[in-house]
Amino acid sequence: MNLIFKMGEFEAQFPTDRMYAKNHMWAVQIGDTLRFGLAAYAVRLLQDVYFLDWELATGTPIRQGHHIGDIESSKAESSLHAPLSGILSDFNQALLKDPSAINVDKYDTGWLFEMQADATGLLSPTDYLEHLEAVWEVTQRTIKGQLNH
């Protein structure tokens, strides 16, 4: 089942079998690790991701908010930050060669990285939708401001 957030004329769908971070990443538990990817909201804002680079190596302990990499798309260049504190355990190596899976299959083959971390602090799908509703107005103003420059 998916929840839907309306982004103007576009819909961003969110699977309910995941948790979400306020920095617009999804998380799913796989064994003793959490796998993270970009939520549909972030992918829609970025549009057409074509470059991804990681700053850290696997096995690196990180704090929530720590800069871990960069992503570029046809709309923006953005820094990627750790959604939780923990230890980076794996990166999706296929995305380094071709990050287009982020655009096409964001909730499966487009996953970004895995880390060993406590999932406390992640949002349920309904809490994430409430978060999106709270930030959407500011996001729209930011987008319009960028378009007017």
Q: Is 98 helix (H, G, I), strand (E, B) or coil?
A: coil
Other Cβ atoms less than 10 A from the Cβ of 96: the count is 12
From residue 113, give the alpha-carbon distance in Å to each of 10, 46, 95, 118: 27, 18, 10, 15
Say what the pTM is. 0.87
Range of 87's domain? 2-147
pLDDT score at 142: 54
**CA 90 to CA 148: how far, in whole Å?**
40
Count of CA atoms in the C-beta half-sphere (13 A) of 116: 7
The pair phi, psi for residue 81, each rounded to 5°, is -125, 145
Q: For residues 33 and 118, is the Cβ–Cβ distance under 8 A?
A: no
Which CATH number fits the domain that encloses residue 77?
Answer: 2.40.50.100
Task: Supply the mean pLDDT for the chain.
Answer: 87
Percentage of residues in the chain having pLDDT higher than 70: 88
Report pLDDT digits (tens) over 81-110.
Answer: 999 999 999 999 999 999 999 999 999 999
**CA 105 to CA 18: how far, in whole Å?**
15
What is the tally of structural domains in the chain? 1
pLDDT score at 13: 81
Of 69, 76, 85, nearest to 121 by C-alpha is 85
Q: For residues 72 and 102, is the Cβ–Cβ distance under 8 A?
A: no
